[in-house]
Structure 1
Amino acid sequence: MKTTGKAASNMQDAKATGRDTRTAVLEGSIRANVPLRKTFVQANEGGDSRHGPLKEFVTGRDLRGLKAYLLIVAACSSGVNGWSTTRDSMVWARMLDIVDTANDQSARTGAWRALLRLRKRKLIDCHRTGTMITVTLLREDGTNQPYERPMGATEEERYLQIPGTFWTTGRDEHLDLPGLAMFLVVAREKNWSSFPLEKAPKWYGWSADTHERGLNKLLTLGLVERREKYKKAPLLPAGVTKTYEYKRTAIVQPRKAKKAVTTGR
């Protein structure tokens, strides 16, 4: 039977969007906040370098790969399926918004290539069976070690939290690569921390310009707030220097766990 123009239009209107798909995946993970080891963003002090795996996404201009990785962590870190998730390659493509700019076959290929880049960085394992792709989390520091949920007991186990609403309300959709990288940097630290531009290459592995553009993007989108702080500077003409401190705004702060309701007998 021939499909009428009206029926085709109705079908298109009913088709799931990328955000719909991300929301459905996150609802299945049963977590209000997604934990991510801080060492993904920046290595702890004492090693040869402070750079974390995040650097490779920024210097490699891989926004799609970074978004894919964060969604995989969100989908798998509940441990419901043993740190793994299996989806059709078109679902992966729609989750990453690839279907908006490519035909079906190109979208499937684009999704698989994004996942292969993550495997090369030793952040996930993945394999295909027909059109189905299974992804398994590895440790966030890129050491190719099996994933275990971070518990926060040691420096290596410290983690930041990203609220599930970051994706379900579309906060991620307006962030470019510098903005998303700096969102993770700010989330890694305590509220009202400073992020000096001149420290960016040593601390994170990207340029001061990228650092600044990311912070400005977050301010423009209302995802961080900024305040001024003044420090004594005896060797400067004014005797004082100004710095900025940042924190996440309420809309992207981790959600507090709901307290269990008990009833008397």
Structure 2
Amino acid sequence: MKTTAPAERDMQATTATGRDARTAVLTRAKRANVPLRKTFVQANKGAASRHGPLKDFVTGRDLRGLKAYLLIVAACSNGDNGWSTTHDSAVWARLMDIHETATDQSARTGAWRTLRRLEARGLVTCGREGTMITVTLLREDGSGDDYDRPVGDTEENRFLQIPTTFWTLGRDEQLDLPGLALFLVVAREKNWSTFPAEKAPEWYGWSADSHERGLKKLVALGYVERREHRTKAPLSPLGFTVAHQYQRTAATRPRKPRKTAPSASR
């Protein structure tokens, strides 16, 4: 049996993990929830195609890229640094967990390539100086337009919210690509909405099978709950039809802001 030397155990205990890095980034961002324009998931009604930029991550099997992009939105969308964030390439690799399965140089290269894929999709811009990489957000619809914080005042500015506990408690680590994509789909809609798999190719751009697998994963993890909804149908054999409705559970819903205590009068 292989044993770990005390010095090696000490090093493992004091070396930051990917979750540690993500938590540090979110702590610095000082927010309870992360806003993401709904057009990232699905274009608004009336568009030539309903597919949003999320489609390319799913069909391209780019789970690493999708996780990286969502974290960048979380890190940058408070606007403290002009919608940008800068880290050493080794830190970027740690944020993406690449360091766990690659040498230092390979991990750095993998992180840079991942960020460049996001740039090619019109979601960010990347700048590099030595080992330092700066990433700046662009608009979530992939248009390449400058980013601004969505405030919900127009159809184009409607947004969903992801609680920062999604990362700090490691819930993101449990999701595969269909699960993460469907998490965003469910988050985009009102509570107890239906998500018919046969509509997935038209509405989102991926297969019905991926759609169903994603919903099943979310229910199994307890991130989403499901119920049956019956609709009267006089001409159907049973006299009704059944559809499944979904909503996020309390564990993955946006967190309510804490109320600040009133200051004492002087």
1:154 equivalent in structure 2: 154
**SS state of the match for residue 193, structure 2?**
coil
The residue that corresponds to 1:68 in the other structure is: 68
Name the residue aligned to 2:167. Answer: 167
Residue 147 of structure 2 aligns to a residue whose secondary structure is coil
Partner AA of 2:24 in structure 1: A
Partner Cα separation in structure 2 for residue 12 and residue 51 of structure 1: 43
Corresponding residue number in structure 2 for 1:84: 84
Distance (Å, rounded) in 1 between the aligned partners of 2:204 and 2:179: 14
Report the equivalent of 1:183: 183
Size of the alignment, in residue pairs? 262
Q: TM-score, normalised by structure 1?
A: 0.97
Offset, 1:166: 0.1
1:29 aligned to 2:29?
yes
Q: Which residue of 2 aligns with 1:45?
A: 45
Deviation (angstroms), 1:6 = 2.9
Q: How many angstroms apart in 2 are the aligned matches of 1:94 and 1:204?
A: 30
User: What is the match of residue 127 of structure 2?
Assistant: 127
Equivalent position of 2:233 in the other structure? 233
**Counterpart code for 2:127:** H
Aligned to 1:245: 245
Identity of aligned residues (%): 70
User: What is residue 201 of structure 2 aligned with on the other side?
Assistant: 201
Q: Output the amino acid matched with 1:34.
A: V
1:236 is paired with a residue whose SS is: coil
- CA offset at residue 264 of structure 1? 3.1
CA offset at residue 8 of structure 1?
A: 3.5
Aligned partners of 1:242 and 1:6: how far apart in 2? 59
Residues of 2 paired with 1:14 and 1:258: CA distance?
A: 32
Residue 106 in 1 paired to residue 106 in 2?
A: yes
Instruction: For residue 19 of structure 1, report the CA deviation from its aligned partner.
Output: 0.3
Give 2:34's aligned amino acid.
Answer: V
1:62-99, CA deviations, whole angstroms, 9 ceiling, x for partnerless residues?
Answer: 00000000000000001110100000001010111101
Partner residue in 1 for 2:116:
116
> How many Å apart are 1:147 and its aligned residue?
0.4
Q: CA RMSD in A?
A: 1.1
Q: Give the aligned residue type for 1:75.
A: A
Q: Secondary structure at the match of 1:91?
A: helix
User: 2: CA distance between counterparts of 1:235 and 1:106?
Assistant: 62
Q: Give the letter for the 2:28 counterpart.
A: G
AA matched with 2:159: Y
Which amino acid in structure 2 is aligned with residue 135 of structure 1? Answer: V
Distance across 2 between alignment mates of 1:186 and 1:17 = 29
- Secondary structure at the residue paired with 2:226? strand
CA distance in 2 between partners of 1:184 and 1:6 (Å): 43
Residue 9 of structure 1, CA deviation = 2.8
**In structure 2, distance between residues paired with 1:263 and 1:170:** 36
Offset, 1:191: 0.7
CA distance in 1: counterparts of 2:153 and 2:218, whole angstroms:
30
Match status 1:55 vs 2:52: no
Tell me which amino acid in the other structure corresponds to 1:45: K
Structure 2, unmatched stretches of 5+, are none
Partner secondary structure for residue 23 of structure 2: helix
TM-aligned CA deviation for residue 240 of structure 1? 1.1
Secondary structure of 1:227 counterpart = strand
TM norm structure 2? 0.97
Distance in 2 between the 1:144 and 1:94 partners?
27
Structure 2 letter corresponding to 1:134: T
Q: Deviations over 1:100-149 (max 9, x none)?
A: 11000110011001000000000000011111100000000000000000
Q: Name the SS for the 1:230 alignment partner.
A: strand
Q: Which runs of 4+ in 1 moved over 4 A?
A: none
Q: Report the Cα distance in structure 1 between the residues aligned to 2:149 and 2:189, rounded to whole angstroms.
A: 20
How far did residue 258 of structure 1 move? 1.2
Partner of residue 16, structure 2: 16
